[in-house]
Structure 1
Amino acid sequence: MTVKKYLFFISQNYSFAILRPLQKTIKENGGEVRWFLYGSEINNEFLQRNEVKIESIKAIKEYDPLAVFVPGNTVPSFIPGLKVAVFHGFNSGKLNRRGLEDHFNIRGCFDLYCTQGPNTTEKFQLLAQQHGHFSVVETGWPALDPLFVKTSKADADNRKPMILMCSTFSRNLTCAPILLETIKRLSQSGKWQWKIQFHPKMDAGIVDQYKAIQSEHLTFIETDNVIPLLQEADVMLCDTSSVLIMFLLQGKPVVTFNNISPSDYLLDINQPSQLELALENALSRPKSLMANIERFISETHPKQDGQSAQRVLDAVDSMIDSGKRPAKTKPMNLIRALKMRKELNYWKF
């Protein structure tokens, strides 16, 4: 039997955790995976011993993958395989320079979008009808498969409540510098345990400030896999980072600071002086808030069986085996193609 070959095309460290559940499922199905790492923001040391790196576009062509999985926005057309978008996060409402939701920006790179839930599937299906050169299947997000594996919390009743603070790197949206002194004061009280984890692109100066306030009650965490932190924490403090959606999907409350689209499933504040009371409210899990969170889950990522990676593979196999392709071919994207060739130093046509 021919072994099915797949390629992971990544440029950010967070992509490792996103794609590893998919890699696990591929191997369980008898397939194999190669990783292609490119750009200056990826660290080769995050590769694990059993993960195989492929070194060049020439080697990718020789490998000839059935499908290329991308937790990002672009992938070059000159590498073989079905181009599959699996997303690097959820739609957090961020707008691009044209005032449109960036999550739904169609760049003409993908054959298949594997969406997370009804509130993204419906929009992508409308865009598929409009553009005509890609397909859409709601699979759930493979990155979350480990999130829905139940963990042991035998000591949960015997420890302090844990607050996980996460923040985006955007200077206009981050709450980190504004809340620094308030978090320092609250952590010194010892009432709660704090863990701090930022987007990898966070300003180094802000990172250093938070590392400087570490204590027995506050720890700064640097990791490529945030899921264990999400499972451990009782409440999240955030701003507009899409990681808050992952936290909500566990049925846990989130306090946000100046969220760009505050909703009834969030406890949003706009003054540092409001933080302590908001966290206390979140920890009490008010019924109306929890009901709103459950509604949000049903719209955003209702599949919580830990089988999203298998559904992605099934969608890819179905598209390949049927031979069916969208009615239109993808646009040429000449400028983007030239940029990718330059970035990857590949000029063979």
Structure 2
Amino acid sequence: MLKFSINKLLSSSGLTGKEYYLDNLRISDEIRSKLVSLRDDARSGILEAWSYAKEQVKQDKDLYERVPLSKLEQLIKLKPRFKMQGSYVYGTIVEPAHNSQDIDLDDGMYIPMSVVQLDDKTMSAAMFEVVDKVLKTMANANGWKQIPKKTCSRLQTNEGIHLDIPCYAIPDEDFNRLRLFESLLVESNSAQDSELKIHTVNLALRNGEWLESNPEHIKEWVSRTKKLHPNFQDIVMIVKGLRDHNYTSGGPSSISLMVAIEKIMSSSPKLGDLTEELYNVVQKLSSVISNELKHPHPGSAHLIIHSPTEPEKQDLRLKFDRFAMYFKQALVTSLTERETMDILINLFGFRMPNDQTRVIRYSVDDNGLKTKKSKVMTPIQEHNTFG
């Protein structure tokens, strides 16, 4: 049974004029503005480069011999569309804890399936060529790097941000709906473009192949999970903050953490209380995150999202067992609020508010039910539990 509640350290809980852990994890308005600006610059550059590429197509006589004129006209008229994905859309994006870490922004580029069917390998190569060229130009102009990845093109800035642009093909009707939706967003001056559902998606791979992989499936799953488990989003952010503080680089991916957390919460009683649900998750994460995890959406269940090697499994078990041990020490076996506070700061880092008055001690009533005592001021006795 837990001895302490840390809800008032983690979230606002009705407090005003106080800092709290989740607030310290959220990206600032300045960073959010940088992300949107970077995305928009990349989109504009890609559209301009695509127009130039279409002029090259018009002059390719060999292509005219291979592809019917009506299909070529479709290609020449084509204007790619874009749709954001990833943690920015899910609402789980967090500020990095170390300079060696990045904020990851994902912005998918889409073209209609009918155009891909003209020549799937050529179209895959063409999409990567255009996106790579644009991001390389942006990189050269700013002293950044463009990195070709298997499933996307990456723009690595020197400001703790990287932009990934994967390329997709979708049914023509979905593409037309996306085009209409984009125009409505422009009219409303909105930075969000995550509400339109796309049902069938093929991801371009750099080797010329295509993989059925729908980013909408993760978004739908996250939305459904938030409704089933109201604390899910907060717990994902808290665990990401825990990971980022303890891994200067690497560590389990955000999506693998999300899937592991949902798996634990779905197989546990609904406790409702943030501290209790977070404690339950942290105690069980080691055994879940150190094993293979499949895509959580039934429509993408054929995809493996987390498959650690044996050495990686051992490292994950070691680290997450350690997290569980210290978190138990903080909330169960600690003798004082100050001791709990010291452990939490060591475990979660500088973004955890150093305020022992918000560590609330539980008491047990005559019926064996937990209640919370009023906060008690305790003398500050500085010591480092981790040694």
TM range (shorter): under 0.3
TM-score (norm. length: structure 2):
0.23
The structure with the largest helix share of the pair is 2
Larger Rg: 2
